Each structure stands twice: as C-alpha cells, then as structure tokens.
Structure 1
Amino acid sequence: MPPRAAPGGAGSGRGRGSTSRGGSTSGPTPSRGGPPARGAFRGRATPAAPAGRVAPTTVGLGLPDTSSHITTVGVKRSAFGQSGRALNVWTNHFEVKIPEDEIYHYDGASRLSSPLPSDILNLDEMFSIISPSEKTLPARLNLEIIERLQTKVAPEVFTPPVVYDGRKNIFSPRQLPFPSGAQEFSFTLTDPASPGEEGQGGGGGGGGERGRGPKIYKVKLTHVATINPEVLARFLQGKQSHDNTVLTAITALNVVIRMEPTMKYPFNVRSFFTSRETAAIGGGIVLWRGYFQSVRPAIGRMLINVDISTAAMYKPGRAIDVALELLGMAPRGPLILSPKHGFPERELIKLQRFLSGVRITVDIPGRPTTGRRPPRVIKKLTKGGANQLSFTMRDGKTITVAQYFEKTHNYRLQFPDIVCIEVGSGAIIPMECCTIPEGQIMRKQVPPEKTKDVLNFATKKPHERLQSIRAALGVLNYGQSEYVRQFGMHVSPNADVQSLQARILDPPTLMYGAQSRQPTIQPRDGQWNMVDKKFYRPVTINRWVVVVYEREQRFNRDTAYDLVRNFLEQFAAVGIRCMEDDPVVLWERPTNIAASLQNAGKKVIEKHRNTGPGPDLMIVVLPESSADMYQSVKHSSYMKFMDHSFGDIIRGVATQCLRSSKCNRANKQYFANVCLKINPKMGGINTIPEARSVPVLTDPRNPTIVMGADVIHPAPGADGRPSFTALVGNVDSETAKYIADCRVQTSRQEMIDDLEAMATAHISMYKRYRQAVEKKSPDPKRVIFYRDGVSEGQFQHVLEYELPQLKRALAANNVNAKITVIVVGKRHHVRFFPQRREDADRSGNCPAGTVVDRDITHPTEFDFYLQSHRTSRPAHYNVLYDENEFTPDALQALSFALCHVYARSTRSVSIPAPVYYADIVCARAKNHYNPEGNFDLTESGTQLESNDAKRQLEAFRANFMPLNDKTKRVMYFS
C-alpha cells in the first residue's frame, strides 16, 4: 500500500490492462505456481465472434473456455458464486468496440541532443537544462515534442496520427514508412526566427539562448512489435493466455483513449482535470474535478471504466501570495518572508517542502512578455534575501542578486530581503518575479488539516455520481477524437452504463458474551450496536490511572471525575471487570512524556502502599493538535527500550489516548466506542463469528491462520525515508484475536523483505497460544494470506518473492499447511449503484454484502468485487494461489465475515480485518521512533541528494525500535 493516497492524488486506480509503461514483448508470462484449475468445464467451443463484440463460450455456468494450454497470472476461474439473493445494479463501465486492424508498436526515445552551459544568474541562461544529453524528459515535454513532430516536422509521415504515452511507447494505426524499421528526427520546439527577430534570443517552448541557437531534440522511433487484435479477441473469449502480447494490446487501447485529453488538460496517469468545477480550500491549494478512464478486459467484451476524479492543484498566482497563504501570514505582508526580519527556519522548511517541484514563470515588471521562456521548476528556497546573496560575474566582479536585477533589467526589487527561489539549473530568482501558472497537479501528500475539505469536494451522493458518470460521454466525446476513430475503436454516443446482476451475501452471525441479553446478532445494512451485549471475552482491570496533559482550566477535576464515572459505567455495561473505582488522576506537563507516565505508574504503586504491580491501563487525555504527544505516549509504553531507563512500570501497559474536546461531556456511546478499543488492547475479544455461519473459518479439523500484510511508502518527493511493512494474523481459533509485527525496509520497495521472519515468529506464537491457552492441537492446517497494496503488475512478484517466504516460515515451524494467497485492492474506480431505490441502503448505495464475480471481472482468472460496508466502492479480490481449493462462495463468505470482526467498530469494514489492521500498523510505524530524535516523519516531502538520502535511510533503519514482549501479545493497534 502505498503511502496512503491522498484524495488529491487522482487517477491512482489499478485497472486491468492499464499498465503505465507496457510494451514489453519478451514472451508470455509464466503461469502462476498454484495448483491446476478445479473442475474444468468441457464442451464445444463457440465460434470466434467479430472483434467488435466477443461472445463468451457459454459452457456450464457461462464461463469462458479456459483450456489447459491457457496460462494465467492468477488462479483460473472454475466457477461463479451462487449464494445470496439477486440484485440488479449499474456499474460505471461503457462497452467499447476493439480495433479490427493491426496496431504498430514503436519505442520512442526523445532526448536533448546537445549539452548546455551551466552558468547561473544570467537571466537569459537561467532557463537552460543543466544535465547530460541523455536526460529523461518530463512527460508533458515529451508529449509536446511528439506533437510538434507529427504536426510540424513530418506530418506526411504521421498521417493518420500516432498516440504516445509520454514515456517510451508509441502506437500507430498504420506501419510508419521507415526503411529499416527505425528512424531518427532532429528538430527544435520553436519556429525559425523572422529576420527582425534574429539575435534577440529565443522564445516559446524550446527557448533559444542569447548567442546560441534553440535547443535541438532528437527522437528515435524503433518498431518493436505488431499487435494483432485477434489476440485480444481470443483473450476476451478465454482462449488466449494472459501474456505480454495481451498486456501490450490493452496498453495501446488505453493510450489511444487518453491521447486527446492529455494533450488538452492537466493529467495524472489515467485521469485528466478541467477548471470547469473548482474549489479553493486555502493553504495554496485549489481542487479541480476531472475524469478517470481505463480500458478493462471483461468476460467476452472490452469495457471502458469511467469515474469522476479529483486533483489538488497548486493555486495559481504570484508566488509571494501563495507562500503567504500557505503559512497563514497574508495579513502580515511579504516582509514576514525575510530571514533578516525573523522568518523562522521551520516555516522556511515548510514552505520549501510545499513549493519544491512547482513550475514557475519569471515575470519581471516592465520587461516585455513576448518571447517569454518556458516555466522553470523550483528546486529549493534560499536562506537569505536578494540583498544578501552575491555571485561573481563573468568579468570577475561580485554583485548581489538585487544589484544584478537593477543593473541588467532596470528593475529595483520591492522586497530584496525576502527569500528567493532557486530553480533546477541553479539560477536564483527573486520571489516577487515568480508566478505559479494554472493547472499544476500537487503530487505531494495533501496536508492532514485539508483532508476534510478534499473529501467534501470529492464526495458525491451515489445518484449524483452516477449522473456525472453518465454525462461523462459528452465530455470524453470519444466519437470526436481523431485518435479513437483512426484506431477503429468505437463507443456508441448513446451508450449507457452497464447493467449487471449482483448478489447480496448473508452476513455472519456474531457472538457476544454468554451473559448478554442478546448473545447473538445478525447485522443489518452492515451495522449493529452494543445494546444488551457484553464482550465475548472481557478483560479485568485491576489498577488504572488517568493522566491529563490538558490545562486544568480547560479540563478540571469535575470533568476528570465525570470521565472516570462514565468509564466505570461502560466497563460494567460491556462486561469489563474493574477492581478499582477511584483511579489515580494526575495533571502533567507535556515536557517529558515518558518521565511523566513513569511517574503516574509510581503513583499507582504508592497508592497501594508500594505493593503489587503498576497500572494495567493508562487513560491519557491530550489537548488538540497533539500528534507529537500521542507518538511519545505510544513510544514510551509499547517499544522495547534497550537502556532500561524507564524501568518496568509502564513497559507494555495498554494506553488509551483521548482528545480532551471529545471526551469532555461526551455521551455514553463515545465511552462505549472507546471500550471497543481498550478490551482488545488488554488481551480481550469483543466478538467472534458464530461457527455455523462461517464454517471455513471455524472448522475444528482445519485450524486456520488468517494473515494480512501491507506496505506503506513515504510521501512523493520525500527522499531518504523508509517504507514500512506489517504482518497481522490471528492466534485464536475464532480468528478474532490478532497480533502484529512491523518492520522497516528500503524506500518504496513493494515486496516485503522480512516476511519470512515475521511469519515464522507469528506461526510460533499461534502454536503456543493454541497449546497453552486453548489446549488444542497447535499446528494450523490452512494459511489464508491477504495482501494489500499490490498493483496488478506485481502479482507475479508476490508469488515469486513472498509466497516462498511463507512456505519457509511454515517449514521452520514444522507445519504442513495449505496456503491461499489473495490480493485485496481498494485503489480502483469500479463502482456499483442499485437500479431500484428500494434496493438501496439509507445512503443510496448498494447494501453491504453486494458481490459481483461476472460480466466485468477478468476473462480467465479468479477474482471478484465485494462491497462489504456502506459505500459505493467495493474491494477487489484477486486469488493468486489456492492450495485449499476454495469455491467462490466459500472465499466470498469468508472475506465478508472477516469484515465483521474488526474490533474497533460495530460496523462491517471495507476489507478483511487482518489486512485493515496491517494498514493501521504501517501507518503507526512512526511510533517506533523516539520523538526526541531527529526523525522527520511528516507527510510532506523533502528532496535530498542521493548520498544524503542514503545516510538518512540507514539512520531510520538503525533507530527503529521493536515492540516489547508484552505488547507483542495483544492488539495494541486497536
């Protein structure tokens, strides 16, 4: 999982066949290592349908003919699910006719042909690209180069036009007339200067430099493959392996439909955005609405998945104004940005993180705008103003930046003391001369305080979203795209979103404590409540303490004792035994969290006349904006300290943090919800699925470990920061009690390095718990491994790199268990909408339990969509490996049931609990670092030189603290 995607990061879906680079034609992908498909259907093959509409071979239940010679990336589909009641839904897909003629694939490499000088601070040279001649150019510039090649340089060659993905892949509807299969073109991005313009310096896109001609770009096109659409038609029928020829063909179709909008609008991989609908949310950010589109193969046909999308853009305008808005200092004026006038370094760093990578134009008042150079990219900010920064001219004289602008450009700076902007070439430009142009996608993490604004803009009611998707055809206008027409693709202008039949699964029956008035419950609409219910296995609290870090004027003693009283009432209501009704209550200063918590533990022991242990539970009340304090609390109690400086009083003690504003005068429901977290943190179990409702999970003959794994990556542009991995799994027979492990690894590496070590330890703890606590046979017979955050292009890597680690972990524990590997995907754009209002839940979405495994699923592989809670976005499950030979009904019911055992909620969640927990554990990895240390783990990015980034990454590795032994055995992450 990648870091976690901000709502502004549009176009992050992982649709089938939407590979970003594609184009490899090195041969078929090897089959996955799973067992042969079960119960293969036999029958006569249906004759091949025309390329426009492919008829599935209706054998058995309507499955494609996945013959034995067909290889798949995942487990072959052998059946469809049957359980549940039928539901007719709309889905955001439009059918598309695929080409009938061959498509020609070219590798397109573009580069700047000549090295350029590295002088800085000469304004006419500050737009130079200082790089080797083989520099990889940005996608937007690459598209501009190819457009000029087609329209100006060699239009006779590129008629009809080709399409380009902005990197390496070019696709043509006809074979280009290259004598040897390859040809190189050299040209500039500027038209020849007229006689009156000679010697005045270049302008426009390519930008000439004084005394030199314009930059020359070289583009070499090489024919690498010819795509026969019959291969794609056979794949949709289930008669062709899912190999690289198919992937390349689907990539080509995606590039075709995206070519037109990417030439016109800001784009982000699979989405493009327009300024028709925007919202300024402050902090230098403007939100734009856009559309996502992706060609996806389905059973017997090709579809285009269309969805609305949102992007966070940098606010256009003067760089000074944007900087002041970001820092919330607009009323104080530009001088606040002056280090000479006390501009804090922390604010400078914050501003630099926000602006790094942003394109700017240079606009000097009084200078003609004709022949303006292309935008430059901000590298960093200076630590001094233009008056303090000096450099040596070519004639050997030293001059400040401010003097240079006055002497050379006859412009006296209004704010010579404020920080300047340094661009990629090293040129330094006063901020007052910089403007941020419109339409720049912010590829960094959206600040946490803006997340709510983004969600409010991005969220639409289901019927409104469906209406926008239906209206998308008018915006996308495939029929007007010359590229779509020339390649022979066609979407009917009267097309509607696809209708299909889903099923609604029955929810599992949940069991609570035997003392409950209502010991069992079957959730409705994905939710239930705790009324008349006690936890299945409640804990006992012998001693506890309340530590308040809020000022006593804001959180006084009466409020604190109300909090204690509310907790005691809810403890009794849910079955938690509390042996102390008058806990120690302390107000502490947040100067040293670890020492104050240690002091609180000592006070508990002193209260009991220095006998017995410290507290079992610490309730910690924090003020607003207390992220650092929260980290300190968790770090102090959960981590393994090597120096033993804090003793044993607080090590492994469950801590429950509360925000003062929320728990002050909160109702009973609030404290009941907090109890849902406290009980599993202390080793209890809130609820379990009834054995009869989920036999796959609770079969005593097949003890089962269910694992969830995830990886989280640093924010875009954040160099020198690691990725974090997590493995979570059950230790009990009811798959309700989980433990977790977290590790640090190489930045942005998706495959988990330490999976074997984590799984080995986990299986060992499972065996000990089964034997010592449950008094049962210790060895598991099944391992179900849910993997989050893996793109479809990495499925094979999971099987080649992570599956062997799981097998070695089992062998290390002398366990012979069958493994099932399932990837759970959330970052896609598939949506379902009920066709009848009476079939919708209260929010207008499909009911919890809606499952789809036909019509829009993979032509040959075992996958399904399951919408397990109240939302329009289902989770996408891909079965990669299955030694347990589960039926579709069994896996779908199993996955749905696991969405109901998430301990922190009385609602079903979007994905199975263990993988949801793994996501939480990864997100909290920063708690493994001492908050007093110099480790910046904020969401914003920092760009570093490669050596500095490597040293910083090693420091992160060396200072990552493991959990202490007590914490390892409980659900500390709940």
Structure 2
Amino acid sequence: MSQLVSDMSKLKVKAKSDPTPLSQEQFPARPAHGTRGTSVTLWANYFRVVTKLGILYKYTMDVTQIQVEGKQPAKPQEKGRSKRPAKSQPKEVKGRKLYFVIREALAELSKADKSLVLATEFKSQLISLTKLKLENNPLRLTIPAESNPERQDVFEVTIHGPAEVRVDDMMKYLTSPAPDSGDHALPRYPEVADALNVIFGFGPRSRVDDISPVGSSRFFSFKNGGIATPLVSNGRGLQAARGFFQSVRLGTGQLLLNVNVTHGVFKISGKVDEIFENLYVRAGPKTDHRAMRNLRLISKFLPKTRAWVNMTLANGKQVRRQKAIFSMATASELLRSRSHNLPQFDRDWEFAGPRNVKFWMEVPGQDGRYVSVHDYYQQKYKVTLKDYPLLNMGSADKPTYYPAEFVEIQPGQSVKAKLMPKETTDMVNFACRSPYANAFSITNDGRGALGLDDGSLDLFGISVDKHLLTVQGRVLPCPGITYLEKSKAKPLHVRPMNASWNMRDVKVYKPGAMIQRWSFVNILPDRANPVDYGVVDQFGKFMSDMGIKINQTIVTPPTEVITVDNALYGGKLGDFFTWAKKQGIEFLLIILGSMDTEVYSKVKTLGDCTFGIHTSCVQGHFKKFGGGSPGYFANVALKWNAKAGGINHKLRDDLELAKGGKTMVVGYDVTHPTNMPSGKSDEAPSLVGLVASIDRDMGQWPSIAWEQTSKQEMLGHQLIEAFKSRLELWKKHNNGQLPENIVIFRDGVSEGQFGQVLEKELPLIKEACSALYLAKPQPRLTIVVSVKRHQTRFYPTTEQNLPKHLNIENGTVVDRGVTQARYWDFFLTAHAAIKGTARPAHYTVLLDEIFRPKYKSEAANELEKFTHELCYLFSRATKAVSICPPAYYADIVCTRARVHRPEYFEISDVESVVTAGPASSISSSSSGKQVHENLRDSMYYI
C-alpha cells in the first residue's frame, strides 16, 4: 500500500514545459509538488481506512406520528352534535423521539431478515449492505412514550429507495493515475463520503446514553461526566465539553478518516437545586434587583431542557420520568393561561419559590383549598424545601410545578450560545492543549468514543489503521523584514526568529499622513481611576520616536472621563464626538476600564460611520496602556500609523510577483449571523468584507463592506461596483495605471462551493474589470480559496529542532498525503503557535492565469513562497500570522461591520442560549450603516 501511495503522489504533478490554457470550468491541475524548504516528517490527524466495499444501498426514511401520547383514535361525536368527527393528523417527528422510532424501525427490519447490515444517522438516511425486501412498507410502530412508559405512541416509517452508492468506483478513482472526466468538480464522490460518514457515525450515535452527537460529525462522551468544565462566571448554566470530530476524506491513493479533538458548549447537568446553589440563584421579589438578574439569566437557559423528575404516583409508587422543562415558574406566565383554579403567586414575586406559590388542591370528601408548595411537600412527604425557584414541567396554559430538589438535568444537551468575554476566555483556556496531548487523545480516547475498533465497522468490511498517518512536509525559510534606522532613517533589516521580531531601535518604514489634531477620553465604570493626561502625553512622544508623524500637542478634551452609563444611555459619548468633530479632531484615543462590547460598539459606530474620526480603544489597566507599557504602546502605535496611511514594515526582498508594481492582491469574506438570540437570526443580514492592496509593498489595504441576503455565501451583483472601486483606488495610487495581475484570496467557502465561486463570482469580477480596462488587455487572475476553519492538524515526529511550544515549525508546508494529487492545494503553517496546537491554513487554487504561465515548473513553489511571505506583512503585528493578510483583513472588516450593527449582532446578558433559525429574505439593499467618507479609503478597521 505504501508503494501505491508513493506512486500516486506523483500523479499529474510533472510540470509541463508548455502549459495548456485551463478551461474556466475546470480547476487547475497541480503543476508539480513543491520542493523548496527543509524536509520534515510529520504525523497528521488522519487514519488510513481499508475497505473492499463494492456497492452500498442508500434509502431515505419519512417518519410521522399518527397517534399522540397515548390518545385514542378519534371517535364519532354523539348523535345530534353539529361538529364533524375529529381526525388524528400525522405529525412530524424530531429529536430524541425520532431517534427511538428509527432505532425501532431498524430492529423490525433486522427481525425480518437477520442477515441485514444497516447503518443510519437516526434522521432520514439508511445505508444497507444489501437491498431491502421491504414487504411491509410503511412500517407501523408502537413505542412507549418516553415521558410516560404507560402510554403508547404510534408511528409510521416510510422507506424510499434505494440509490446505489459505488464505493468501488471511488476506490478505483483514488488508486488510478489516469485523468478523470469529473476532475473539474469538488468534492469528488460526495455521495460515497456521505454514506461512509453515516456508517462511521452509526456506532457512536447508537450509544444514546453515553454519546451526545452535535451536527453531522462531532461526538461528545458524557460517560462518568465526560471531560467538561463549567462556564458559569456569568450565571448562565453552561459548560464546555471535549469531544471528537470525524469525517471521511479522499487522500492521494487512499481513503482517510480525519479525526480531531473538538470542543462544544452544553447546558450544565446535575441536580437543579445544586446548580441553583452554585449559581447563587434564589427566589426573590421584584425589588431584589441582583436576584432578579440571576433569575432572568438562568430562566433563559432552562426552557426545552431535558430532565429527570422524581415523582410519586397516585398508588404511592416512586418513579423517575423524563420530561422537558417548560420554564421557571413565573407570575407573568399565568396571564396567558385560561385554566380554572390557577396557582397564586405572592404579590411582587415574579420568579417565586415554594413558600410564595399556592396551588389548588382537591381533597376527597372536603372542599378544595389553596396550599403552598412548601407546605404540601412538608405535610405529605416530610420534606422541607429551600427557597429555590419552582420549575414548570407542564405548559403556559396548564402549569405543573416541581421543586428544584426533585429535578435533575440530563447531560449532553448542546446549545448554540454567543459566549460572553469571560466565558470565551474560559473556553479558550480549556481548549488550549499541546499537540501531543491532542494526538494522545485522538489515538486513545477518540478511538473509543468514535467506536473505531468495535464490531459495527467490521460488519461493513471496514477497518481503520491504529496509527496516525505519516506525511512529508517542508519548512520554508523566514523572509527578512525592513524598517528604518532610528538615527539615520536608512533601511534597517531585521531577521525574524521563530516567525517573530521586535522593533528595538527602529522606526516604521513609511509614516502615514501627519496627525495634526488628536485627543482622548476615559470611559469607565463608576469610581474607577482614569488614565491621566501624562500617560497619554507619553504615548504621543512614543509614537513620534517610532517615526510616526504626529503633533505631540494633545487637544485638551472637554472632559477626561465619561462613565459607562453616561456613554451608553446618557448621550455624553455622542456629545463628546460632536465636540471632536467641531474641533477638527482626526484621531481619538478611547481608554476603557474594561472591554465592554456595548461601549466598543458605540465608539466604533460613532467614529467609523457617524463622524468619520479614527478611534483606537485601549485598556486602561496598569499592565496595559495605563502603565505605559512599551510593548502595548507599540502595538497601538502600529494601528495609528496604518490608519493614517503608513507602512509599518516591508519585506527585505520584495515579493517577486509584486516587484514591478503591477500586481494587486484582493481578499474577501462573508460572515453570517450565528449563535444569536431567538428571532434575531432571521432578521440579521450576512456581511461582506473586501480589501485590496494599493502599493507594491503590500502595506495598505483599504476596504469596503456591504450587506447581502441572510446566510447567503455567494456574492451578488454588488461585487461588481465594489471591485471597480478597488481598481479605481489602485489606479489613483499608481500613476493612473491599472494592475496587470490580480491575485484573489477568497476566504471561507467549503469544497462544495468552489465551483460556485467560478460560476457566480468570477463573471462579476470580470465584468468589473471589463468596465475599467475597456479595450486594453484584461488583467490576469488567480483565485485561491483560503480556509482556516478545518480539522487538519500536524504533529512533530521527532524532538530534533522541536520548538519549546512542541508544535511543528513555523513555515511548514504540506502538499502530499492528505491532499489529492489531481488538485492544486496545500496546507501552510506560517506562524509559530505559542499555545495550543497550531492550525494550518488550507489553500486551494480555483483559477490560475498568473503563476503557471509565468513560473512554469516552479509555479507551486512560487505560490507557496508568495503566500508564506505575505503572512509576514500583517501591519499591526511583529510576527507572521496564521492566514495571509488579505483573508485576515477581510475577516476583520466583516467583524467591524457586525460591530456597526449592534441591533442585530449584540446580545444583552439575558439573551443568552439560542438556536439559530432559517435564512430570511432580507434585501441586500437594506439600509445598513456605511463607513464615513473621511475613512472610506483608509484602514479604519485595523
């Protein structure tokens, strides 16, 4: 097998001396594998998959519930009634109920034919090793209700198909050196990969009491509590858990299984009274504002939460039943109920405890009466309840209250939650692990959690290698960096070490426009100490020493301090910006007591969109800006110079392609509304950010951003005008000349969307070019997709030259083994990962009219070098970044566009745990905020 893989690695990679033009419909073939750099052997987080499968049969299933929760079939109405007989309407089945129905359906099929080998994802797909006979279709199944086993639910499962899935064709394709008619498409054989993913996921999904699946490919084990850490600093009842991702991938000459450690956010589990105790949740009157805040936070977390409830039946038998929490018991909820003898809440109590809620109790042989929940449990069960809020396990119309002491939240309930800053920090710290720790988890705990060694795969004739895949990589050399000498203002060359360097005794390479008028203000919580004028004055002198053109006289602000409350609600921040505008202020230094997202959003919206004033937010903490830290000052100063149009540093040896000043580099990205409060996801637009270089040094990247239809990835006709604006800006800065080459980095699209980039976006780009170039030769285009959010990781195999952080070396490029020889892609780790496991960027060439025609057999080497060296040109850092700047900047522009729209993307502390909704039909021409014309052609976003 190893010889086969070696042979396949040479597939279609021989460079052609006279490359033929590529069809627009076909992705460019790999011109050759890269050869430059120092060779290195690595492990990849992949296992080789061995199978002799021929054909699989794929079926789809429709499941409906035709009788609900034990209700009897509808009976005719009594004679004389005018109403028509009621009918039991079929009902769609979802969630855990769907899981149990499909599990029972598979059991019925296997009972009829014990030779069947089946797999499913317990939603709609069914994979079989042989054709099903299906003598009874649909299947009618009677299953005990999970919330009450004494009741019976009736379901109908209709099976459609089959469609043949040719695994053998895919294996022939992987092991054949011959060109294939489908090589213009990506991904290849998606139906086979999908079927195999169903088979691989069937084992862990079958362990419903142990494994919690999230999406199509992530699995979290909660056996014995799982591997989790609370995220409870904000009182929202969340936890971070560690699990495993798996997905079938096509490699060079072999089938692979990509396995990675993954992390997710879940509802915290355990006894509700203990959760309330840990989160300081107690029932309280409306006048207790602190208690009300905690109660509101936890109340957003509880609805639809699966729980076990300990209850006593009428016959005295104690049972444990599964139910879904409807809500915390609230007085306002009762206003919607039309039931008789409603529970009664004490006056001014919204979230009430057992002492503050009375319910109507029927007593045989006596008149009914109201009794408090506390007294009822005391008298009947001899249990003294604490003052925790009650839980409604019924509905708004028919509430059924249970004390927290009798309810336990089940583990493994995933949520989509936008994390608060402290929660994000806790999550990152939990997920940050060394490469060896992750590799060990994958090869040990991962195999067990994913069932890679259990019998379900053997039945399908599939086996998974025990060891991680070994791949060959190369380490590219760091480029040199150029600044100016501090004394003579001559070029000074700096040599990076471990992909980073410092600015000791240097000035920025090129200062921006003179900053004549600037000022500052502190925005602080009540009674916090401000950063005084002297520190700000020191910062001005520091920037001047760095070679930044700045008037060291600060324009004295009308006030040095605005409280957070006055900034957000009192109009003081708007007044301050109005003053700044009248004074002709160009830059404002905003000193924050903490990184409050609401304050930050308001500052950036006022500065970027309303008044057209550059703003820079800094943390006033003594260890940050407030202490005059030179490192912190330098980082902020780099942003100021970039905003002013300067170039902080350049490469010692210019990018070869950019030397003549005839190559423009473009990056664009789309961000979508995710993890948002219920309802807002449907309203929020998707946002596009586009940046383009305007100089040969790749130091300035002005941007443009706009809205488009929610959750739409492919760009529409607005791309034409946006692209034209970048060409016009290049022309303005390059003596009226348009670029001859345009290299485009398209960020964030999946393999399945690669073809759409060429079909939908490329024609718009060409139309924009045609409008400006007219009869002149059109520019040569290269489009490269850059992806950061993938699951491929590499680990060192030897301690030789191993960095202290135990990661692979910066500059590592991999274009064999985990790639496909027929396509032109590579993984690049340009940066030095100080913490955690380095994540490489993945680059795939979709169109190439530049590198292969210009560099012939060296095209792959030159593209890798170009991309790698670009990563050293991120203007606000003295280190290489993990993904090339055009893609990175485009992502930052999208993030800033979100900040400008807090009505869509900001959440309050009570809008917490949510599920994203379907795409909406918001118009792409909706009136989104636009960047002020004063800043439009600058790097305001940096």
TM-score range with shorter-chain normalisation?
0.7 to 0.9
2:469 aligns with: 498
C-alpha change, 1:170 and 1:152, in structure 2 (3 Å) is: closer
> How far apart in 1 are the matches of 2:647 and 2:507?
10
Amino acid at match of 2:195: A
With structure 2 as the length reference, what TM-score do the two structures score? 0.81
What is the CA–CA distance in structure 2 between the aligned matches of 1:473 and 1:623, rounded to whole Å? 43
Q: Structure 1 residues 136, 761: CA separation in 2 closer, same or farther (over 3 Å shift)? A: farther
Partner of 1:20: none
Question: 2:675 aligned with 1:712, yes or no?
Answer: no
Three-state SS of the structure 2 residue aligned to 1:449 is helix
* Change beyond 3 A, Cα 1:426–1:878: farther
Instruction: Tell me, yes or no, if the aligned pair for 2:543 and 2:637 is still in contact at 8 Å.
Output: yes
1:254 maps to amino acid? N
> Can you list the C-alpha shifts for 1:762-805, whole angstroms capped at 9, x where unaligned?
324424432xxx42x42122222222222222222322322222
Could you tell me how far 1:963 is from its partner in structure 2?
A: 0.7
Q: Is 1:157 the counterpart of 2:113 in the alignment? A: yes
Q: 1:360 to 1:857 in 2, by over 3 A?
A: same
Please point out which of 655, 659, 675 is paired with 1:694. Answer: 655
Q: 2:645: which partner in 1?
A: 683
Call closer, same or farther: CA 1:850–1:364 in 2, change over 3 Å: same
Secondary structure, counterpart of 1:215 in structure 2: strand
Q: 1:762 aligns with which of 708, 713, 725?
A: 725
1:533-589 CA deviation, whole Å, 9 max, x = no partner? Answer: 211221322222121223796435xx5233124313421331013223454253232
1:916 to 888, 894, 907: 888
The residue matched to 1:305 in structure 2 has which SS?
A: strand
Work out whether residues 339 and 419 of structure 1, in 8 Å CA contact, stay in contact via their aligned partners in 2.
no
Q: Which amino acid aligns with 1:778?
A: Q
* Residues 570-649 of structure 1 aligned to structure 2 (within 5 Å): 570-585=542-557, 586-590=559-563, 591-592=566-567, 596=572, 614-640=584-610
The CA deviation string for residues 477-524 of structure 1, in whole angstroms up to 9 with x for no partner, is 7564232011111124xx321222101112333332365566223422
Question: What are the residue-to-residue correspondences of 1:319-398 with 2, within 5 Å?
Answer: 319=272, 322=275, 328-330=279-281, 333=282, 335-336=283-284, 339=286, 350-364=297-311, 373-376=321-324, 378=326, 384=331, 390-392=337-339
Determine which of 86, 89, 102 is the counterpart of 2:55.
102
Please tell me whether residue 56 in structure 1 is matched to residue 18 in structure 2.
no
Contact 1:705–1:784, Cα closer than 8 Å, also in 2: yes
Pair 1:726-2:689 in alignment: yes
Question: 1:679 Cα deviation (Å)?
Answer: 0.8
Aligned to 2:128: 172
**Counterpart pick for 1:819 among 781, 791, 794:** 781
**Partner of residue 81, structure 2:** none
| Identity within the alignment, % | 23
- The one-letter code sitting in structure 1 at the alignment partner of 2:324 is R
Distance 2:419 2:92 in 1: 29
Once the 2 structures are TM-superposed, how far is the Cα of residue 728 of structure 1 from its aligned partner? 1.7
Match of 1:261 in 2: 204
Deviation at 1:82, TM superposition (A): 1.5
For 2:88 and 2:706, locate their aligned partners in 1 and report how far apart those are by CA, in whole Å. Answer: 37
Cα pair distance change 1:73/1:285, threshold 3 Å: farther
User: Partners in 2 of 1:408 and 1:686 — Cα distance?
Assistant: 82
Classify 1:918/1:58 alpha carbon distance in 2 versus 1 (closer, same or farther; 3 Å): closer
Instruction: Mark the CA change 1:60 to 1:416 in structure 2 (over 3 Å): closer, same or farther.
Output: closer
Aligned CA distance change for structure 1 residues 711 and 399 (closer, same or farther; 3 Å): closer
Q: Partners of 1:720 and 1:782 in 2: how far apart?
A: 41
Unaligned segments of structure 2, at least 5 residues: 73-86, 346-356, 365-369, 375-385, 853-858
Q: CA deviation at 1:383?
A: 5.0
* Alpha-carbon separation, structure 2, partners of 1:778 and 1:166: 59
Q: CA deviation at 1:881?
A: 2.2
Q: Are the aligned partners of 1:54 and 1:233 in contact in 2 as well (CA < 8 Å)?
A: no
How far is 1:652 from its partner? 2.1
What is the CA distance between 1:99 and its match in structure 2? 3.1
The alpha-carbon deviation at position 185 of structure 1 amounts to 0.8
Instruction: Tell me what 1:37 maps to.
Output: none
Q: Which amino acid aligns with 2:535?
A: L
Q: Take 2:89 and 2:889, find their aligned partners in 1: how far apart are those partners?
A: 46
| Equivalent position amino acid for 2:522 in 1 | V
Go from structure 1 to structure 2 and tell me whether the alpha carbon gap of 1:349 and 1:936 turns closer, same or farther (over 3 Å shift): farther
Tell me the distance in 2 between the aligned counterparts of 1:964 and 1:58.
53
Output the CA distance in 1 between the equivalents of 2:882 and 2:88: 47
Q: By how many angstroms is 1:236 displaced?
A: 1.1
The Cα of 1:62 is off from its aligned counterpart by 7.7
Distance in 1 (CA, whole Å) between partners of 2:132 and 2:277 is: 52
Give the letter for the 2:104 counterpart. Answer: R
Give per-residue Cα distances to partners, 1:657-710, cap 9 Å, x unaligned: 1121122213211101111111111222212234x442123343x332322323
**Partner of residue 82, structure 2:** none
Pairing partner for 1:791 from 724, 739, 750: 750
Instruction: Identify the residue that residue 809 of structure 1 maps to in structure 2.
Output: 768
Alpha-carbon displacement from aligned partner over 1:447-485 (angstroms, at most 9, x marks no partner): 331112112221211222222223246525756423201
Cα distance change on mapping 1:392 and 1:73 into 2, 3 Å: farther
Q: Which residue of the other structure, out of 244, 247, 251, is the alignment partner of 1:294?
A: 247
Aligned-residue offset at 1:137:
1.6
The 1:258–1:717 alpha-carbon spacing in structure 2 relative to 1, beyond 3 Å, is farther
Q: 1:447 aligns with which of 394, 416, 420?
A: 420
Instruction: Return closer, same or farther for 1:71/1:588 CA change in 2, 3 Å cut-off.
Output: closer
- More off after superposition, 519-528 vs 937-946: 937-946
Q: 2-side partners of 1:857 and 1:383: how far apart? A: 56
Q: How does 1:36-185 map to 2 (within 5 A)?
A: 56=8, 58=10, 74-114=27-67, 133-138=90-95, 140-151=96-107, 154-157=110-113, 159-178=115-134, 183-185=137-139
User: SS where residue 256 of structure 2 aligns?
Assistant: strand
Distance in 2 between the 1:960 and 1:400 partners? 47
Following superposition, the deviation at residue 865 of structure 1 comes to: 0.5
Cα offset for 1:845?
0.8
Partner of residue 832, structure 2: 870
Which stretch shifts more, 444-453 or 595-604? 595-604
- Could you list the per-position Cα deviations for residues 861-899 of structure 1 after superposition, in whole angstroms to 9, with x for gaps in the alignment? 211111111232101112222233442222212221221
TM-score by length of 1: 0.79
CA spacing shift, 1:950–1:347, aligned 2, 3 Å: farther
Give 5+ residue unaligned stretches, structure 1: 1-48, 120-129, 191-202, 607-612, 641-650
The corresponding residue for 1:738 is 701
- Deviation track 1:409-461 (CA, whole Å, cap 9, x = no partner) reads 99952499957547789764436365421221223233331112112221211
Shift of 1:94: 1.3
* Equivalent residue number for residue 616 of structure 2: 656
Change (3 A) 1:531 1:249: same
Q: Residue type matched to 1:555 in 2? A: N
- Please report how far the alpha carbon of residue 372 of structure 1 lies from its aligned counterpart in structure 2 after TM superposition: 5.4
Shift of the 820–371 alpha-carbon distance from structure 1 to 2, 3 Å rule, reads: farther
In 2, Cα distance between equivalents of 1:407 and 1:306: 59
Distance of aligned partners of 1:869 and 1:936 in 2 relative to their CA distance in 1, 3 Å threshold: closer
Q: Structure 1 residues 69, 687: CA separation in 2 closer, same or farther (over 3 Å shift)?
A: closer
Say how many residue pairs are matched: 855
Amino acid at match of 2:780: K
Are the equivalent residues in 2 in contact too, given 1:537–1:685 (CA < 8 A)?
yes
How far is the alpha carbon of 1:525 from its aligned partner? 1.5
Give 1:513's aligned residue: 484
Deviation string for 1:804-849 (max 9, x for gaps)? 2222222333362222222221222211112222332231111111
- Structure 1 residue aligned with 2:497: 524
- AA of the residue aligned to 1:89: L
